[in-house]
Structure 1
Amino acid sequence: MKSIITLPTTSQALAFDGEPSDAELDAIELELPLIEAEVDLLDVEIMTLDRPATELDERRVRRARNRVLDERRKLTNRATTMQSGGAA
């Protein structure tokens, strides 16, 4: 039986130490406000799972969703600005 997995022959491909690169850390830092907003939305949604949603709960969910959308918009605008060289 032949294996479908091939091992890289270069030593650089084997040099991965399991740690994120500086570029990956920068990308995570750039996306952190969106990640936090999504976690907050998940927390609010979890709070409302075991009971009927009140008007206050609905407002919390709506605010959390709006925050996620706002952070996505900001991240998209930042990425577009960075790709176009900063010229608006």
Structure 2
Amino acid sequence: MSDHDFYTEPTAADLAAIEAEEPLLAAEFAWAVAEVELLAAINRGRSCELDVRRVRRAEHAVIRETFALVNRLNRSPSPRRVA
């Protein structure tokens, strides 16, 4: 493999796949932030039910976005899944 093969630009299909996954990635990031904030609050000794609910809502958002992504991928025909 030459260096040129390794550093090629993403194709339009690659960019479309990244764009399709963006809501899930954002939800996963929000979940990680909520967990870090909860751990920081626990470390300070000032955690509350709101912190726990924030993590739970973020978890549910990740689940929702995962199902939404799977549904979007199943609805749109992919050039890679030609029968």
TM-score of the alignment, normalized to the shorter chain, above 0.5:
yes
State the match for 2:31 in structure 1.
Answer: 41
State the match for 1:82 in structure 2.
Answer: 76
Deviations 1:3-31 (A, max 9, x none): xxxx47xxxxx555432111100000011
| Runs of 5+ consecutive residues of structure 2 not aligned to the other structure | 78-83
| Runs of 5+ consecutive residues of structure 1 not aligned to the other structure | 1-6, 9-13, 84-88
State the match for 1:70 in structure 2.
Answer: 64
CA distance in structure 1 between the aligned counterparts of 2:7 and 2:34, rounded to whole angstroms:
37
Letter in 2 for 1:34: L
Q: Does 1:29 align with 2:19?
A: yes
Larger helix share, 1 or 2? 2
TM-score normalised by structure 1 residue count: 0.72
TM-score normalised by structure 2 residue count: 0.75
Identity of aligned residues (%): 40
Taking CA–CA contacts closer than 8 Å with sequence separation of 6 or more, which of the two structures ends up with the larger relative contact order? 2
- Count of aligned pairs: 74
CA distance in structure 1 between the aligned counterparts of 2:5 and 2:25, rounded to whole angstroms:
30
Letter in 1 for 2:57: R
